């Protein structure tokens, strides 16, 4: 009888994200001054609003998540919505507001790009480009972000296999851009209790197949703010390199996905719990503090 011996998992590597307007980006074992790292020694928290709505909203949120311990800011300027009549984002104006919030908070930001024609515009403002679930197999967009010179956050499609996610990542890598971070954000299921089914088994499964960092998005996966913190903690336990979560100062008034957005006080509590749990998994929370990534104290 033959016994199957699995191949050794690839050695994890660190992807670095630099300053919003063009400082160092690259791959290394540790994050130097001025960079945020995604890798095996840290747990990196990205937080911010689903969509940029107003200057006051994004500035308030950015300062709150920075004070709580986020390493990066997230926010949508261009929003892909199921209905064409839903709020589609502020576009270029939203990018300017995110850049202002980034400077005020000291956090580099990641934002989604929808159209290959907009990659240059978004890359001129953002430290990291996001390819969302709906565009995971938009091959023209994948090639264009690969050429952008920016790190790329690639979200798994709602009905995509892990093979398809890794193949999508190869489109970016093939353009010479090795700064790719994968993100599990939930897959479609028969059960309507949650928005999607968060496939946490994908984290260790991907770890066996790729050296790329892996994040988890418990906000979109669950669609319910009361489930975000438990699944964020579970993501840490499953071996994820970080999370990306939505935070809004007034979720009931949000123009997009308010039901899944944490209040700033909820986010502060979550970060404290993650910081306490991380050492049990030989990690520390990454934090951009005075231009340097450090352990959250």
Cα–chain-centroid distance for residue 21?
19
Task: Name the percent of the chain lying above pLDDT 70.
Answer: 87
Residue range of the domain that includes 209 = 44-283
84 C-beta neighbours (distance < 10 Å), count: 6
Map residue 49 onto helix, strand or coil. Answer: coil
234 occurs within a structural domain: yes
Which tens digits make up the pLDDT trace of 259-296? 999 999 999 999 999 999 999 999 999 976 533 333 33
Query: Is the pTM above the cut of 0.75?
Result: yes
First to last CA, the chain: 53
259 occurs within a structural domain: yes
212 occurs within a structural domain: yes
Lowest mean pLDDT among 49-58, 78-87, 90-99, 199-208: 78-87
Structure token digits, residue 219: 């906000």
Q: What is the pLDDT of residue 31?
A: 58
Q: What is the pLDDT of residue 6?
A: 56
117 occurs within a structural domain: yes
Q: How many domains does the chain have?
A: 1
Residue 147: pLDDT over 70: yes
Using the Cα atoms of residue 260, residue 73, residue 147 and residue 165 in order, give the sign of their dihedral.
negative
Which tens digits make up the pLDDT trace of 97-120? 999 999 999 999 999 999 999 999
Using the Cα atoms of residue 149, residue 154, residue 157 and residue 158 in order, give the sign of their dihedral.
negative
Mean pLDDT of the chain: 89
Report yes or no: 71 and 44 within 8 Å, Cβ to Cβ.
Answer: yes
Q: What is the pLDDT of residue 296?
A: 33
Report yes or no: 203 and 240 within 8 Å, Cβ to Cβ.
Answer: yes
161 occurs within a structural domain: yes
Structure token digits, residue 82: 């199921």
Confidence of residue 14 (pLDDT cuts 50, 70, 90): confident
Cβ-count burial of 249 within 10 angstroms (0-12 exposed, 13-18 middle, 19+ buried)? middle
In CATH, what number is assigned to the domain containing residue 207?
Answer: 3.20.20.70
Q: What is the pLDDT of residue 112?
A: 96
37 occurs within a structural domain: no
Distance CA 33, CA 43 (A): 17
- Strand partners of residue 1: none
Distance CA 214, CA 113 (A): 20
Map residue 216 onto helix, strand or coil. Answer: strand
Residue 49: pLDDT over 80: yes
Q: What is the pLDDT of residue 229?
A: 98
Question: Could you tell me where the DSSP H helices lie in the chain?
Answer: 55-68, 92-105, 119-123, 139-147, 162-173, 202-207, 218-222, 225-238, 264-277
14 occurs within a structural domain: no
4 occurs within a structural domain: no
Report yes or no: 212 and 13 within 8 Å, Cβ to Cβ.
Answer: yes
Higher local confidence (pLDDT), 28 or 173: 173
Cα–Cα nearest to 112, from 71, 75, 149: 75
């Amino acid at each position: 009888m033959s016994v199957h011996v699995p191949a050794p998992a690839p050695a994890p590597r660190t992807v670095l994200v630099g300053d919003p307007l063009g400082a160092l980006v690259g791959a290394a074992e540790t994050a130097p001054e001025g960079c945020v790292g995604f890798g095996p020694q840290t747990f990196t928290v990205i937080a911010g609003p689903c969509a940029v709505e107003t200057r006051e909203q994004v500035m308030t949120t950015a300062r709150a998540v920075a004070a709580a311990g986020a390493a990066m800011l997230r926010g949508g300027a261009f929003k892909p919505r199921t209905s064409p009549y839903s709020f589609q984002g502020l576009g270029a104006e939203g990018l300017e507001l995110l850049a202002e919030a980034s400077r005020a908070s000291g956090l580099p930001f990641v934002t989604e790009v929808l159209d290959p024609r907009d990659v240059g515009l978004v890359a001129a403002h953002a430290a990291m480009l996001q390819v969302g679930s709906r565009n995971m197999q938009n091959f023209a967009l994948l090639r264009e972000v690969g050429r952008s010179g920016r790190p790329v956050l690639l979200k798994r499609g709602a009905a995509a296999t892990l093979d398809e996610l890794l193949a999508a990542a190869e489109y970016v890598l093939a353009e010479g851009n090795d700064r790719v971070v994968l993100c599990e954000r939930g897959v479609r299921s028969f059960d309507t209790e949650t928005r999607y089914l968060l496939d946490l088994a994908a984290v260790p499964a991907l770890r066996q197949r790729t050296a790329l960092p892996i994040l988890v998005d418990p906000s979109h996966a669950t669609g319910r703010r009361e489930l975000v913190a438990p699944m964020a903690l579970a993501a840490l336990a499953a071996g994820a390199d970080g999370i990306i979560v939505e935070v809004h100062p007034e979720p009931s008034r949000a123009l997009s996905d308010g039901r899944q957005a944490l209040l700033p006080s909820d986010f502060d509590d979550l970060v404290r719990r993650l910081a306490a749990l991380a050492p049990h998994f030989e990690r520390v929370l990454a934090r951009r503090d005075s231009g340097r990534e450090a352990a959250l104290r």
